[in-house]
A and B are shown apart, each in its own frame.
Chain A
Amino acid sequence: MAKEYGDVGALAPVDLSVMAGEAIVLVGHNGSGKSTLLSIIAGMLEPSEGTVLVHGQPPDSVYARERRSWLPDTPVLYDDLSVREHMEYTIRMHGGQGDEPIIDDLIKRLGLADREDDLPSQFSRGLRQKAAAAVALVRPFTLLLVDEPFVGLDVAGREALLGLLEEARRGGATVLVATHDPAVISRFKRGLVLDDGHVVHDGTAESLHAYLSADVTHGET
């Protein structure tokens, strides 16, 4: 699968398979194609060529939408629904009643207890990110796509989100996270490095660390 904008190639032909339950970190410089790759899997962008399948179905099918949750880099929330209302609505769209305990738990764990009834339009960047994370995690999924989730988060929020990602992974969900944060990268088992739309490395955490170190050394020399 590839993606082009006019004569600009955002993503070179990529051929990947991801196993269920894998946790993969996507690493790369600005404009390397990480967000483009995740957006295509999320069904927000259409590939210029090739095919994407989520559980064997197109990304925009209802089947895929039931199973995939996406946390984009820029939080997108209704400005006139409170955090709690957002979560209630989301869980109802996925077959819940809107009064499940998970709502309260995510609110607490992400430090939103004091702001759960406030409108996101009044939030700082970090709070909006937390609210968006709560909305993305409140519903069931087998695939979680996360794009730069730690931007704007405080330390507690970051650790809480990392913990939630780990729990999702342990529960069997596939987790793909795009990030620049070296401390986060080191916690993943498998890493993909993208460079100008190409996947230039795909390997274990150790090989990723070695690759990135070599890349930095090469750049310095």
Chain B
Amino acid sequence: MLQSTGIVNTREDSRFHISAHHCAGRTDSARAAWRSILRGLPDTTPPDISDSDPLGTDSSPGDDLNEAESAVLADVALGSVDPKMSSTAMDEMRSARRRRRIGDVAWGDLAYRVYTTALACLVFAVFASGWVGDSELSAASQTSAQKFGPVWAGLFAGLVLLLGVRSGTRAGPIALESADVYHLLLAPISRSRVLRRPAVGVVGYGVATGVAVGALVGSLCSQRLPGSTFEWLLSGALFGGAAAALALGAALITASRRVPRPWIELLAWALLIASVVAVAGYSPFAPLTLLGQILFWPLSFSLLPLLLVGLAIILAVVGLMIVGGLSIELAQLRTRLVGQLRFAVTQQDLRSVLLLRKQLASERPRNKSRFARLPIRFGGRFPVFTRDVQSFGRWPWVRVLRVTVLGLGAALCLYGAWSGTTPLILLAGLCTYVAGLDVIEPLAQEVDHPMMLASYPEPAGVILQRHLVAPVVVMVLVGCEGLLLVWVLHPSVNIIAIGAITVITAATTAVAGASISVVSEAVLDAGDAAMMPPEVTGPRVVIRTLWPPLVAVIGVTPILVAQRAMRLGNDPIPPALTLAIPILVLAGVVFMWVKYREDLHRTMGEAMGAKT
């Protein structure tokens, strides 16, 4: 109940009414509205506004109603919408647009894209096949595959399911055109009818992709495990298709808002966690392991998993039936961003991908900072650091959580590497790199706004370099929480010492790697890229993509040398310290590159110009 302002009419139930008060027969008012317009036909001269007081100042609402009713019949009466006719109109419009699009297609360009895509898939399949090898696994390995394979496959299915549900919370998986949101979803036609076709397209495409990928995985399995290739192809295809149908069905149901979203998300998380626990060996079974068993049918056949296949089909069908409950607000946002996101991905524009992904998830900075304002003098002396702290203070909770989880994840991976699973350092490095991409947001903002950067009375490189200090501090704090977790799991002085060394190196290299990704996006001379031959561009893109996370991975390697020293019975700290020095030098080199990148580029350009 709102307080009366003395101006606005208050109502008992605080509802905003656009209501037809005194509306007996008022439903025909729209018909009358168009009759009044038609009274102006065929004379199309605009009315002389200056002589009248047009918009209601000289009449009360509805004064002209009787006069209007006596006028010519309107072209279209209100309330004459026939759902079948509307559906037909929509279908014909879509067909016409489709024909027009097909007519506009550059077939040569399309054929080339199909060719390159097929070629890339073929190369990948051959590469994967060679990597997997073709010698049959030993009996022990086969037993292990039969025991753990379905669990891992179930984990993968759980991950895909969770991704589908999260997509559904953002009005996915359908991405409509902007004009469709306005002209179809706001039209007087059933929204289920409007959305069903694109939803069927998305589900069909998704399931087909799942089938193809599953079949590929199955064929790779057939190289090392007993059973015919056909059996493996079939089981892989069925697993891939079922996982895709499960995820997409769950996504559509979530997007429909007919089932409370928190419940669906909770269920998806519960299923994933159950699979993680099963993979870790703390539980003999997880629900999605049943689905994973399909992939390994050639080793052990059971009809029980078909229950989950049936469930996946039911979810997909139900999702398609109730798709009309989609949120227009979220659909509009998704529409706007998905197109840009796809373009950014094709351009390998990592910065745009990250920004758009955050917008898609409605991850907005807080309006009010969590931190009190720093003292004026401090801000005056260290303006860049102060600006960065203000940025961190506006992090939404989801970002704080994400960076925290990544830090803890990196710590657990390093603990796993310390315990003997060496490949986990790759995952640890990736976690720190991804966290680094979040913490260097102020640097990224500077790179995004070159005009503002150019307006400051200091060289751009100097300012960019100063933006690296606060992120390193934040990453050290994140590392410390991870170290605390590891110490809880394994209280030991060596853990603390080696952990502290690794925290410092990991924090600096994570920021260094992330800054390479972001600063490299800033194009210093568009002509350079345009003139490069494909033989150079290709490797350049690969190096630009792989080098930054590799720098982050290098930062966590002190843990490995320390582990080796421990195994040999030596003191682990000196080797870790020894390795830490060149790692910090590497990070320092990157920080200097950030500062002098423009100067280096200019010098090289001048040198090239002098040669020619």
Contact = CB atoms under 8 A, between A and B. Distances in A.
Interface of A: 1, 5-8, 13-23, 25, 40-46, 50-56, 60, 62, 65-67, 70, 72, 76-81, 85-86, 89-96, 98, 100-102, 105, 108-109, 135, 139-143, 156, 159-160, 162-175, 187-190, 199, 201-203, 205
A89 to B, nearest CB: 5
Nearest to B90: A93
B396 A167 contact: no
B54 A187 contact: yes
Given A52-B16, A96-B76, 17 more contacts: A13-B14, A20-B26, A45-B328, A51-B16, A56-B19, A62-B189, A65-B188, A66-B79, A80-B100, A92-B85, A94-B80, A100-B76, A102-B34, A159-B49, A160-B46, A171-B30, A171-B34
B61 A20 contact: yes
B interface residue count range (under 10 / 10 to 19 / 20 to 34 / 35 or more):
35 or more
A53 B20 CA distance: 11
A127 B20 CA distance: 34
Nearest to B180: A78
B450 interface: no
A67 B30 contact: yes
Contacts, number: 290
Nearest to A106: B37
Nearest to B368: A7
> Which of A7, A42, A105, A170 has the most B CB atoms < 10 Å from its CB?
A170
Contact of B75 (A65, A102, A199): A102
A53 B36 contact: no
Interface in B40-65: 40-42, 44, 46-47, 49, 53-57, 59-62, 64-65
Nearest to A91: B76
Contacts of B85: 92, 95
Interface in B233-277: none
Contacts of B79: 66
Contacts of A41: 16, 18
A43 B80 CA distance: 21
A186 B8 CA distance: 20
A159 B46 contact: yes
Contacts of A22: 56, 61
A167 B36 contact: yes
B36 A18 contact: no
10 contacts: A6-B367, A17-B17, A20-B22, A21-B61, A22-B61, A76-B183, A91-B75, A142-B33, A159-B49, A199-B5
A102 B97 contact: no
Interface in B60-83: 60-62, 64-65, 68, 74-82
Given A13-B14, A172-B65, A66 B188 contact: yes
Contact of B57 (A56, A156, A159, A188): A188
B366 interface: yes
**What are the nearest 4 A-B pairs in CB distance?**
A171-B33, A21-B61, A172-B29, A95-B80
B68 A92 contact: no
Contacts of A80: 97, 100-101, 104
Given A93-B89, A188-B57, A171 B366 contact: no
Contacts of A7: 366-368
Contact of B33 (A5, A46, A55, A141): A141
A102 B38 contact: yes
B532 interface: no
Contacts of B367: 6-8
Given A16-B16, A162-B54, A109 B46 contact: yes
A46 B333 CA distance: 13
Nearest to B29: A172
